[in-house]
Amino acid sequence: MPDKHPETDEVRVVDRRRFTTEGERRAGVDFEPPALPPPPAAATKPATSSAPASAVVTADEDPQSREARQAYDRQAGRRAQLDFETLLRSFAGTAMLQLGLVEDPVHGRIPPDLEAARETIDMLGLLEEKTRGNLTAGEQRFLEDVLYQLRVSFVALTSGPKSGAPKAGR
């Protein structure tokens, strides 16, 4: 809001942005991140020996990032350990929905979105490429199976009639 100088009635504009247009922090501008809300009393549980995977702290982790992650874990009430197979199942489920192979639990059957399905399948392919040599045999086999099934389904939906099938009108 513009400030008025009482003696001159001039309007003075003060730039209070925290960063320059280049993304650098402005000199002389203090920044206090918003305080994290305290966890609800019902969510407070005694500490257990099996910490969630996200509780592992790396030496180079920013303390603010660690606090935000820990607050998220408390609020989200993480119930199950997430693993690579869970990530793959999430991508596969999304791709199956996009291919129109399963019904949306809320909206029922939705029309296929083949472009979105292609992107999701390509992301899984990228995961396969980038994780090559770093997966267990079971994870690698699961990823290969998921990709195979999704690719075959995509080709079946996007290809025309089989070459041996009679064409309409002939």
pLDDT in tens, 30-62: 655 555 555 555 444 444 444 444 444 455 667
Average pLDDT, the chain: 76
**Contacting residues for 31 by C-beta, under 8 A, at least 6 apart:** 18, 25
- Does a structural domain hold residue 79? no
pLDDT higher than threshold 80 for residue 24: no
- Distance (Å, rounded) from C-alpha 84 to C-alpha 130? 13
Please tell me the total count of domains within the chain.
Answer: 1
- Does a structural domain hold residue 132? yes
- Does a structural domain hold residue 22? no
Residues 68, 71, 73, 77, Cα dihedral to 10°: -150
- CA-based end-to-end distance of the chain: 76
Mean pLDDT, residues 13-22 = 72
- Does a structural domain hold residue 111? yes
- In what helix (H) or strand (E) does residue 11 lie, and over which residues does it extend? strand 11-12
- Does a structural domain hold residue 52? no
Point out the least confidently predicted range of 34-48, 86-100, 106-120.
Answer: 34-48
Residue range(s) defining the domain that contains residue 125: 84-158
Name, of 9-13, 107-111, 122-126, the range with top average pLDDT. Answer: 122-126
